[in-house]
């Protein structure tokens, strides 16, 4: 058996999330079905991160084991052929060592959350951003975000259904970017960490939006973090603005 790493891009809108489910469409299920068209039999793939329903990816990474010796180009082309018309694409493939693991070999995950500030309904960007119709102050959001960077107990910012063994995580970076576009203002949240808790990013962004709207003060975010209480969290924002951008490994499996 040979092991291959796959870099995957997908629109999460039609899926119940990454993880295979018996009665709902999933990204994992779509890729495993495509693999079965190449080599008969059940296939089980592992991913760098399990994205929730409606969450997108630009650089999800997974690995699969195949009996046939495929060139990376032929493998990605064949999979993309069988993935049609699902909004899933294999943008790169690479042969990796037998002990390489998409999840356990990763050293960092990078997420992007896109928030659109606009009164008019979204059209071309519908389903790709979280839209709010009120003004947001970016300065206070940046001040509040500083309280979350570093190693903390993130109990306040994780789902009550989170299965992680510990709520203690290190958030390496949380940068907020303001963009003036031809359709309105976009605020982008860039987050980096070795790993994230379930709903951590959406909980953080939803809380920071309350700061930008003036409903919370920046210091309220520090107090919420210190409370270590899910009830102290702001609202969890919807999934459509969230993107898994990249999984980082000690050596890039897709490097030239």
Catalytic annotation, residues: 52
CB burial readout 211-229, b (16+ within 10 A) else e: bbeeebebebbeebbeeee
**Helical segments of 177-238, H only:** 200-212, 218-227
CA dist 255 and 252 (Å) reads: 5
**Do residues 130 and 114 make contact, with C-beta atoms less than 8 angstroms apart?**
yes
Residue whose token pair is 């630009």: 58
CB neighbours of 44 closer than 8 A, spacing ≥ 6?
32
Give the C-alpha distances (Å, rounded to integers) separating 31 from 76, 100, 235, 254.
11, 19, 33, 19
CA angle 62, 66, 67 (to 5 degrees): 170
Terminal C-alpha separation, the chain: 24
Instruction: With beta carbons less than 8 A apart as the criterion, state whether 20 and 167 touch.
Output: no
- Residue from 255, 254, 245 nearest 4 by CA: 254
- CA separation for the pair 223, 230 (Å, rounded): 12
Cis peptide before 40 (omega within 30 of 0): no
């Amino acid at each position: 058996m040979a092991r291959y790493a796959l870099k995957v891009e997908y629109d999460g809108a039609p899926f119940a999330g990454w993880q295979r489910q018996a009665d709902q469409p999933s990204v994992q299920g779509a890729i495993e079905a495509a693999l079965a068209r190449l080599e008969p039999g059940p296939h089980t793939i592992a991913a760098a991160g399990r994205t929730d329903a409606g969450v997108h990816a630009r650089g999800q990474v997974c690995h699969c084991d195949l009996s046939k010796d495929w060139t990376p180009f032929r493998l990605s082309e064949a999979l993309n052929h069988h993935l049609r018309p699902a909004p899933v694409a294999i943008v790169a493939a690479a042969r990796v060592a037998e002990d390489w693991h998409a999840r356990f070999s990763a050293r960092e995950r990078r997420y992007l959350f896109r928030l659109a500030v606009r009164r008019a309904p979204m059209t071309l960007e519908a389903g790709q951003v979280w839209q709010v119709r009120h003004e947001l102050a970016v300065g206070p959001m940046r001040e509040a975000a500083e309280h979350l960077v570093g190693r903390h107990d993130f109990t306040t910012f994780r789902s009550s259904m989170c299965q992680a063994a510990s709520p203690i995580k290190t958030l390496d970076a949380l940068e907020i970017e303001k963009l003036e576009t031809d359709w309105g203002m976009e605020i982008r949240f860039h987050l980096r960490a070795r790993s994230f808790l379930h709903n951590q990013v959406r909980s953080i962004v939803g809380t920071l939006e309350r700061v930008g709207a003036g409903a919370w003060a920046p210091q309220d975010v520090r107090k919420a973090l210190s409370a270590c209480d899910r009830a102290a969290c702001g609202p969890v924002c919807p999934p459509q603005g969230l993107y898994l951008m990249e999984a980082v490994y000690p050596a890039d499996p897709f490097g030239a």
